[in-house]
Amino acid sequence: MNGRLALAGVLWAAVSLAAFVAIGNVIVAAGLAVFGLVLLIVLAMAHDWDSHPDFEQRELMRARRRKEKWELNADARARDRERWEAHQARKAAGQGDR
């Protein structure tokens, strides 16, 4: 891609120079040069357009991260479950007295 981008940059410079030489109006030539520069920037930004992961790959990566986080917090969930069960037992014992 770098070779194509360099070729596009050289082509843009040549066309911009030709526009300034051939067109008598400097503002029109500058407008064409800026338009060409914008196209060159778009070309540079879009060179890896299709190299992103697809939906399934992104979801697989997210699922792996969620699983790692789930496994990392397993002991905290166990402690919370024990506290909840103890609370429910106290609550049931308190209701039995009434």
- What integer pLDDT is reported at residue 94 of this predicted model? 84
- What integer pLDDT is reported at residue 98 of this predicted model? 55
- The mean of the pLDDT values for the chain is 89
Question: Average pLDDT, stretch 66-89?
Answer: 94
Residue 51 pLDDT > 80, yes or no? no
- What integer pLDDT is reported at residue 77 of this predicted model? 93
Exposed, middle or buried: residue 90 (CB in 10 Å: 0-12, 13-18, 19+)? exposed
- What integer pLDDT is reported at residue 97 of this predicted model? 60
pLDDT > 70 fraction of the chain, expressed in percent and rounded:
96
Q: Where are the domains of the chain?
A: 2-45, 55-97
Question: Average pLDDT, stretch 40-60?
Answer: 85
Question: Average pLDDT, stretch 32-51?
Answer: 87
Could you tell me if 8 and 16 are in contact, meaning their C-beta atoms sit under 8 angstroms apart? no
Could you tell me if 20 and 29 are in contact, meaning their C-beta atoms sit under 8 angstroms apart? yes
